[in-house]
Amino acid sequence: MSMTSMATTALARANRAAVDKATAALAAVSAKEFSSSAMPAEVVLDAAVSDANKLEKKHFEIPEPLMMGPGPSNPYPRANDAMSKALLGHMHAPMFPLMDEIQTGLKYVLQTENEATFGLSASGGAAMDAAVSNLLEPGEKAVVSVSGIWGERFTEKCLRHGAEVVQIRKEAGLTPSFEDIEKVLEEEKPAVLFLCHGESSSGTKQKLDGIGELCHKHGTLLVVDTVCTLVGEPFFTDAWNIDLVYSGAQKCIGCPPGLSPMTYSARAMEKVMSRKSKPDIFSFDVTEVGRQWGFNGDKRPYHHTPPINIMFAMREALQIVSEEGLENSWNRHLNAHYQLWEGLDKLGLKPFVKNPEDRLATVNCIEIPEGLDAGKLIANAFDKFNLEISGGLGGTAGKVFRIGLMGYNCTPRNVESVVTAFEDGLKQQKFL
Ligand SMILES: Cc1ncc(COP(=O)(O)O)c(C=O)c1O
């Protein structure tokens, strides 16, 4: 058992002991006050209980690999430990200062002063649904940049929502230029432009500087996906005039998945407030969620039960990022990226993204050499080194390996392990 899981288990035991003690004290009082001579009752059953799917009593061993794929990444141990605290009621007074702290930390990592900044209780992909549901009314038009799976997904979500879509399509490994985007915005004047800051299926980084101003000139709101980039690549919500940003917890932030950072600009909130119809997904309606987070009115009524333990972890992860500082974090990711490519280059491996300026530091795509059995190399890395690397996704499936350098895992030592695993896999298949 690792030091982290031993510490986590010890903490969990201490918490359980505290809860058990309180329960025993209460039971002693109620036994005195409410003792009854009635026979224990039994429920009356209308049908026989099937044991077909009853779990066997056995220990289920969960492996603990070093996760160097495109995410999730191993969380910071301190964030993991924070999850094992006893639960707090989400509507109880101590929870609100904790949510306020998360909000402050998210404003830091998103580099924004937007009031409507919070963690959506859902996956990164669900935050994409929330963006579509809140910013687009049926019949409105979105321009969507597509050079991988995330642009395809945004398109699919817009169409299901009844919005019209015009795509800017680029091959995997390329991104649209400022001029490409300018031309489409002038022609289409869409309600929303979607760009993916880090296209994790192909390893490209979208340049964003100046696009916000361009959008606003045409009455368009700019939506940006930062699921695999936030905290790992320089990003400025306010300075780049972005209207809606969503991200994920489980990548460069170093928190387990389940609470997705989101921020809406004042312009985006104006649009939401002036809609003809309400956003169609109640659970993701930013005006409803915002009441519980305390930025839409001063009361904090119940909206839903959030993943409370993930919130503990998120606060801790944001604390760690704040201690390191964003500039240091961005430099750490960039240096790991250079170190990785220096190592891979010596092994004769080639980057999938040809223009170095367009390469993500956080998700690195490596061309699979002709004749190499990629699955065998991935399996060897896992079996021999307990190291997780991934293949491609969508259009890059069968074409690339993907290496994530994200958050807690982004260290020189882990990069060395990845290079060693590649070297070993290539030697095994006589490529070296
Ligand atoms: C760029 C990007 N957007 C969206 C998502 C979807 O996030 P989730 O898997 O949390 O739904 C991912 C996940 O890998 C991603 O890399």
* pLDDT of res. 429: 97
* pLDDT of res. 220: 98
Cα separation, 382 vs 167, in Å, equals 38
210: region left, alpha or beta (phi > 0 left; psi from -120 to 50 alpha): left
The fraction of the chain above a pLDDT of 90, given in percent, is: 88
* pLDDT of res. 6: 47
Nearest CA to 94 among 282, 237, 300?
300
Cα 127 to averaged position of ligand 1 atoms, centre (Å): 9
Higher pLDDT, 29 or 221: 221
Cα separation, 365 vs 308, in Å, equals 35
Tokens of 289: 């969620």
Cα separation, 254 vs 77, in Å, equals 9
Q: Whose CA is nearest to atom 3 of ligand 1?
A: 227
Per the listing, tokens 């603990």 go with: 64
* pLDDT of res. 24: 64
Higher pLDDT, 412 or 18: 412
On whether the CB atoms of residues 255 and 313 are closer than 8 A, the answer is: yes
pLDDT tens digits along 142-163: 999 999 999 999 999 999 999 9
Per-residue pLDDT averaged across 382-404, rounded? 97
Cα 70 to averaged position of ligand 1 atoms, centre (Å): 9
| Ligand 1 pocket test target in 150, 155, 206 with most atoms within 8 Å of CB | 150
Q: Whose CA is nearest to atom 10 of ligand 1?
A: 124
pLDDT tens digits along 12-24: 555 666 656 666 6
Cα 45 to averaged position of ligand 1 atoms, centre (Å): 45
Per-residue pLDDT averaged across 234-241, rounded? 98
* pLDDT of res. 194: 98
Per-residue pLDDT averaged across 367-387, rounded? 98
3-state DSSP assignment of residue 238: coil
Chain-centroid distance, C-alpha 82: 18
Mean pLDDT of the chain: 94
Q: What angle do CA 300, 305, 308 make, to 5 degrees?
A: 100
Per-residue pLDDT averaged across 185-206, rounded? 98
Cα separation, 31 vs 33, in Å, equals 6
Cα 426 to averaged position of ligand 1 atoms, centre (Å): 29
* Residue 5 in this model has a pLDDT that exceeds 60: no
For residue 396, the tally of other CB atoms under 10 A from its CB is 24
Confidence of residue 49 (pLDDT cuts 50, 70, 90): very high
Domains of the chain by range and CATH? Answer: 77-322 (3.40.640.10), 326-428 (3.90.1150.10)
Nearest CA to 287 among 115, 104, 97?
115
Looking at the CA of residue 200, tell me the nearest atom of ligand 1: 16
Q: Whose CA is nearest to atom 8 of ligand 1?
A: 124
Neighbouring residues of 226: CB distance < 8 A, sequence distance ≥ 6: 197, 198, 235, 245, 246, 247
* pLDDT of res. 167: 98
Looking at the CA of residue 248, tell me the nearest atom of ligand 1: 10
pLDDT tens digits along 241-298: 999 999 999 999 999 999 999 999 999 999 999 999 999 999 999 999 999 999 998 8
* Identity of residue 397: A
Nearest CA to 79 among 110, 105, 118?
105
